Structure formats: C-alpha cells, structure tokens
A and B are shown apart, each in its own frame.
Chain A
Amino acid sequence: MGKKLKAIHYLNQFFGQIGGEDKADVEPLVKAGPIGPGVLFQELFGGEVEITATVICGDNYFGEHMDDAAEAVLAIIEGYRPDVVVAGPAFNAGRYGMACGAVCAAVAKRLGIPVVTGMFPENPGVESYRKDVTIVETKATTAGMRDAAQLMTRLALKLARKESLGAPGEEGYLPRGIRRNTFASETGAARAVAMLLRKLKGEDYVTEYPMPVFDRVAPLPPVERMYEITLALITSGGIVPKGNPDRVESSSATKYGKYNIGGLKRLSPESHETAHGGYDPTYANEDPHRVLPLDVVRDLEQEGAIGKLYPYYYATVGNGTSVARAREFAREIAKDLVRDGVGAVLISST
C-alpha cells in the first residue's frame, strides 16, 4: 500500500466537544486528530485514510460571519494539504448544514480538493449547496450517525483515491441536479427498444431523462398606449454587426451583444449578419430585417404608432444555449431596460 491518504474533518462546537449553544460563537480553531464523531469515521476509514486534524467553528459565528469564517477555515485546511475533506454530518441542523455546505463548496472550488458532507434532505444546506458538493443523505437526528458515517467514509475514500462516483441512488448521495456523460453497455437504440418492451408489458422502467418543469411566466396585460412607450428590440437569431465584434458563438452562446442603433434607420447585408449556426443563414444575411425588424419598427416610430425605439438592441444566439445561461442574459438585459424606462420589448427568435 502507498502512503496514507489525509483527511480533514469539519465540525461545529457541539460535535467538536467545545460546548453547546453557549459556545456557538466560537471562532474557527483546529485540533489534532479525530474528535467526537471523527473517532467513528477514523475507525471506518481503517488504515488507508488518516484524519490528521479537525477544524471546529461555532454555528452562530459561522452564520454571522459567513465570508470571514469560510476564509479562516479554508486557510487552516489549505495548510494540511489533505486528499479529502469531510464535514458533519449536520443531520437536520440548519445553521450547521449551511456551514458544512459553505466549507465544502469553498474547499472544492478554491482548493480543488474533493469533499463529502451529510445532511437530512430538508436541511437548508442541501438546497444551497447540492450543486457543488457531494451530500450524503442522512436521517434527521443523530440516530442516523452510524449509517451516515459509513456512507460518508466510503465516498470520501473513493474521492481521495480519485475514483469517480456512481449514480446518486447507488452511492447514497443526494442528486446534484447535474447531467453528466457516461457510457452504457448497450447502444441507445438497444436501450430504447428494451425500455419500450417493458413499458408495453406494464413492467417498471426508468426514464433516462425525467422531463423538467419549465418556468411559466404569466403575460402582463397588453400595453395600452403604445404611442407613448419606448420599445426595445432583442433577438436570439444572432443578428450582429458585420464581423461579429463580440464573437458571439454560433451555438451554446456564452454571451450576448448590446449594439447601438441610435442613429440607424436600416440594416443592410454590409452592416449586419447572423452569427447563428442553427439555421440556413442565407436569407438572414441577404436581409437582416428578416430576423431583426428594424425597418418596420422605424416606420412605426415615424408614424407615431410607438413612442420611440430604444437606441440599443440586444442579440444572442439561441442555438443549444442552455436555459440557465439564457436566464442570466435575461436578468442583465432586463435590468438595463427597466432602468431606462423601456415599456415594451419585441423579441424575435428563429
């Protein structure tokens, strides 16, 4: 066997044997070796992993000084250069769960060291950190300590050995809501026919992609006095100034562009083009108005049908661009528009 792998354990003041609620203001401190539940963890790790130190912090201190506390804990952990960090388990203790989640997330992100914690699914720490942290599902109370310790040490060992984890159901951790590619033993076609036969026979089958539930945005009431409002143009059809100055990607866009059209009456094939890789660009490049209708909107402005046109338009490419990314774009753009008193937006897609 090679050299021993090193683990650091994070605990709150109670499990760290400093004291109860009266000691919840204790600042981060470190003790050598395993403490409290750490003794059980060490026993389960056996000889391959050694808990070299335990970092302890009061739940109130952590909750009230989130950033400072996380920094201090991170600094201590970094000094030990561990192979894995375990935190908790926090069961259904909310403040403790948040602290375990924050410590683990910081360690994973900033130090690139694998982390494992354990919580009851309703602990608020789960909702906040499940995306970034491996969280083992535990019971609500310390009655679940041994089960939690067993799962946590098993996963910690795997991660310390740099092995990849199996699916959440097999390994006992809470789904992170992440889709990750992996290879099956059969082709997609074989899996499809097998799944259909089970479905037809009324047998159990597991869909490989449970349908997500989309946000539904309730439409606002119609704009009453269009002739008074400022109208803005947004497109996901990729119309950008010729040469694509912001290099908006042809697919899976990571950005959007904001372009001045304050003085512009018309678009032309010389001035604009599409960056979109998901449709036949011939016609949009021939006449960019087919995707971004500046011509018609300018006419409406001239006729007084709308108050005025906002002097910028926003463009991105909606080709394979993730919903999460699109939501980020929308938040930023909406902030601009609300600030500048825009009353209506025309969004053209392709």
Chain B
Amino acid sequence: MVLELGRIPIEAIEWGAKTLIEGTVLHINRQELLERARQGDSRITGVQVDIARPGESVRIIPVKDVVEPRVKVQGKGGIFPGLVSGVETVGTGRTHVLQGCSVVTAGQVVGFQEGMIDMTGPGARYTSFSRLLNVVLVVDVQEGISRHDHEEALRLAGLRAAAYLGEAGRHVDPARVERFEVRRLLEAKPPATDLPRVAYVYMLLSQGLLHDTYLYGRDVKMLLPTLILPTEVMDGAIVSGNCVSACDKNTTYHHQNNPIIQELMARDGIDLQYVGTVVTNANVTLRDKMRSSEYAVKLLEMLGADGAVLSKEGFGNPDADAMMTCSKLEERGIRTVLLTDEFAGIDGASQSLADTTPRADAVVSVGNANEQIILPPMGKVIGDIRVIEKMAGGQSGCLVEGEIRAELQVVMGATNELGFETLYARGE
C-alpha cells in the first residue's frame, strides 16, 4: 500500500480572477472561495476572508482550526472523507499538498474562546502557523443556533475551503514527491529483521463540544480503539472539532502533518519497524477511559509491539487516559514514551500533571502552557481581540492598549502534544 505526497510549495497568495497556481503563487478567486466555503449552509450568514502573511503585523483571534489544502489526484476516496468527501478508504494513490499555506477558521463559538496566532513578534516563535500563508475565514452564523451547530458550520466551512484551494494543485507538477509505503504486517511471513517493533498510540480528544475529533466523519466519542494507516491520516481521515485551550489541541493541520507518523515512517526499516497506528479516544467517564485503554493496549499486543509512542491531547482530565494507557502498556512489557505538555503554574513551581504513574518513566515535555508571555500590539487584528480576556489562558485586564499578557496556552499549537514544535520545559 503506497501513498505518494506531491508537495507544491506556495510562496505567495494573491487575489485573482481564477483560482490557480502559477509557479509558487496561489491565485484565489475570492468570490468563488467564499461561495465554496459556504456551500449553501443556511446556518452561515456571512463569511469574510483575509490573508495573513508571515512577518506581517497581524493578529488572528479567535482561531478555531487550521487546515492544509490538499487534493486527492489518484487512488480511492477524497480528502477529509466522511465530511466533505465520501467514506471510501483513503491513504493510497497520490495526494497533492499546497505546502506553506493554510485555511484558518476564525469566529466565536463559545464564551471561552479559541486560540490566537500572531504573524510576527514573540508570539510567532511558538507556533508554526505564524510561518504559513494563512487564508483566514471569519464566519458569522445565524443568531440563536446551538453551539454544536455553530461549531459544525465553522468546521465544515474550513474543510470545504481547504478542499477547494487544494483542487488548484490537481494538475500541477509537484516540486517534490514523497513515497510512503505501508507494509502488510499481518501477512504470514514477517520480514526477517530484528529491529524493534514500534507502534503508535494516537489519543484523540473526545469530551464534547469543542473537545471532539472526527474519524471518517464519525465522532470518536463512540470509538472503540482501532487501527489506521498512517497514510489515511495524511489524507485527512482525522479532523479536529476542538480548540479550547488552543495550545495543546491538535488542529486538522497537525493531524494531516502528524510529526510522530512522519518520524516513524522515516525510520521504518532503518532502526525500527513501524508496525501500526492505533487511534484511541479520551472520554470523560472512568468506564470509558478503562474500556479504551484496555482495548488499545490489546491491539498493540496483537501487533506484537515491543515499544510504543503515546501522544496525548489536552490536559487535566486526559492526563488520566494517558497515564492509564501508559501504565497498562508498560505492565504488558511494551516500553513506552509519552508526550505531554505541562501546567506547572505561571511560576513553574507546581506539579505539572493532574494524574501520574511511576510507570511513565520516559516522558517528552512539550512545554509549560501556564508560562506567561507578553505579546505586543499588532497593526491589524483579524477577528475580535476583546475575547482574549475570556480565553483560556487570558484573564480580566490582560489586554492593555493592544498588548497582551497571557499564558502561553492562548497560542494555537504552542504546546502541541504530537511534538510538532521544539518547545520543552526543563527543571531549573
């Protein structure tokens, strides 16, 4: 099973008469983009679009999701299956990627808003999204619709816009083609190698509104852990429906570019055998946590894994899911490394996690989300800056003449627990 990712570098975005790629410039027909994003969704009353470029004095707030434009050019299925394409299995054939750009959805959903992205200044150091050409959709919805409907309307608008822009890359010759081959591991004869068998346990947040994740369009709250091809993830099989406390929520962009999958694929056959990826969830009840961790660990035993990388999403309550899974993996002799962020207080002096296990003896820290950052005013704000005081990580009075003093957790993806960034917290 092979997926080729054809990478088309995008270095500039301009408004134009037709949506197409010329060299490394993406021209966008603005009106058509707006229509395609909206696609007759009666819940949406208006969409505005703006472009935020790296280095510009621009702040985007509140951000819900970030999505990479991709298009399926060969092989079964379409991008974001189950949501804006059918439900055929993706992950084989060829997919083109508009690399260096994204669709950002902005607009309020709940009172305690989403995240923010600064395109320059100290905040830009913490998130890769500051280094992308961002096509920002600010979506307004009908008064009085439920927050769940509101969330869904924004989510789908973002996916449709990304799929629409992705189409521009369908007939473009990519600058670089990467080949990802997934071996059939359950075949009778395993390859003759003594490289360690490594599996990936991919925890998806599933706690309700703005804490949900979708797999082929299915809300993973109801998921029993299951196997997925790494290449399906690259084709958008996993979509984010969450963003509160934006620092450690996986956006759709993070899923599409999951760095653990890329790392394991790159080292497969060299110093490890990548034997499989198990997606599991993180629900709110103890019974669900126990069920999912039991089932996920069983799948890893069936894969004959010697070791596992376990990624977490969110903090607090999901610490319990992660610790439970980690503890059971180690009990079964599957050596595990867990990625987590920390909530060690503004002064860094508190315990960082809500739950622990002595078996979690190999932990990668992706940073203390409570640490304070000072973000100077930006020349332009896309969205509404006043929400910062209510945002998780902000507080009343944290905004003074455009300058923000808040916790790092307001920055989209700053402590991403797939290990997308280089930040970490160390003991001093």
Which residues of A are at the interface with B, using a C-beta cutoff of 8 A?
131, 165, 167-168, 175-193, 195-197, 199-201, 205, 207-212, 214, 247, 249-252, 254, 276-282, 318-325
Contacts and interface: CB of A to CB of B under 8 A. Distances in A.
Contacts of A205: 362
Interface stretch (B5-13, B134-142, B163-171, B418-426): B418-426
B303 interface: no
B356 A181 contact: no
Interface in B333-361: 335-337, 339-340, 342-353, 356-358, 360-361
26 contacts: A165-B428, A168-B428, A179-B344, A179-B348, A179-B425, A181-B368, A181-B423, A183-B423, A184-B422, A189-B262, A189-B339, A190-B259, A191-B424, A192-B337, A195-B364, A196-B335, A199-B335, A199-B362, A200-B196, A211-B363, A251-B392, A252-B395, A254-B395, A277-B112, A321-B343, A322-B343
B40 to A, nearest CB: 26
Contacts of B306: 200
A192 B395 CA distance: 33
A210 B306 CA distance: 22
Contacts of B423: 181-184, 188
**The 6 A-B residue pairs with the shortest CB-CB distance in the complex, in nearest-first order:** A188-B419, A280-B208, A189-B419, A277-B112, A322-B345, A322-B350
B393 interface: yes
Given A180-B425, A189-B419, A192-B419, 9 more contacts: A178-B349, A181-B408, A185-B422, A188-B366, A196-B307, A197-B272, A208-B363, A211-B358, A281-B111
Contacts of B349: 131, 177-179, 324
A195 B364 CA distance: 8
Contact of A281 (B110, B284, B420): B110
Nearest to B264: A193
A320 B369 contact: yes
Contacts of A195: 337, 362, 364
B339 A197 contact: no
Given A191-B419, A325-B345, A177 B427 contact: yes
A250 B394 CA distance: 8
A196 B271 CA distance: 11
B147 A214 contact: no
Interface core residue of A189, A252, A324 (most chain B CB under 10 Å):
A189
Contact of B271 (A182, A184, A197, A280): A197
B420 A323 contact: no
Given A181-B408, A205-B362, A214 B351 contact: yes
B41 to A, nearest CB: 21
Main secondary structure of the interface of B (DSSP, over half): loop
B81 interface: no
A189 B350 CA distance: 25
Interface of B: 110-112, 125, 146-148, 196, 198, 207-211, 244-245, 259-260, 262-264, 267, 271-272, 284, 306-309, 315-317, 335-337, 339-340, 342-353, 356-358, 360-371, 390-396, 407-409, 416-428
A142 B396 CA distance: 52
B351 A320 contact: no
A211 B364 contact: no
A249 B211 CA distance: 19
Contacts of A177: 349, 427
A207 B426 contact: no
Given A208-B364, A278-B316, A188 B422 contact: yes
A199 B307 contact: yes
A208 B365 contact: yes
Given A179-B342, A193-B263, A320-B370, A279 B284 contact: yes
B391 A250 contact: yes
Contacts of B207: 279-280
Given A189-B419, A212-B356, A277-B245, A179 B426 contact: yes
A282 B147 contact: yes
A209 B263 contact: no
A185 B369 CA distance: 19
Contacts of A209: 340, 342, 352-353, 363, 365, 425
B428 to A, nearest CB: 5
Interface core residue of B348, B367, B424 (most chain A CB under 10 Å):
B424
A199 B408 CA distance: 31
A188 to B, nearest CB: 3
Contact of A181 (B211, B371, B392): B371
Contacts of B344: 179, 322
Given A179-B344, A211-B361, A193 B260 contact: yes
A176 B428 contact: yes
Contact of A319 (B146, B245, B307, B417): B245
Nearest to B125: A183
Contact of B427 (A167, A211, A279, A280): A167
A252 B112 contact: no
A196 B198 contact: yes
A209 B358 CA distance: 11
Given A168-B427, A252-B407, A207 B361 contact: yes
Contacts of A276: 112
B277 to A, nearest CB: 13
A189 B367 contact: no
A243 to B, nearest CB: 12
Contacts of B427: 167-168, 175, 177-179, 210
A48 to B, nearest CB: 25
A5 B419 CA distance: 41
Contacts of A322: 343-346, 350-351, 370
A219 B365 CA distance: 33
Given A189-B263, A252-B409, A324 B345 contact: yes
A180 B392 CA distance: 20
A203 B32 CA distance: 57
Contact of B424 (A175, A188, A318): A188
Contacts of B370: 252, 320, 322
A75 B182 CA distance: 70
Contacts of B351: 212, 214, 322-324
A331 B351 CA distance: 17
A188 B421 contact: yes
Nearest to A165: B428
A282 B395 CA distance: 22
B63 to A, nearest CB: 15
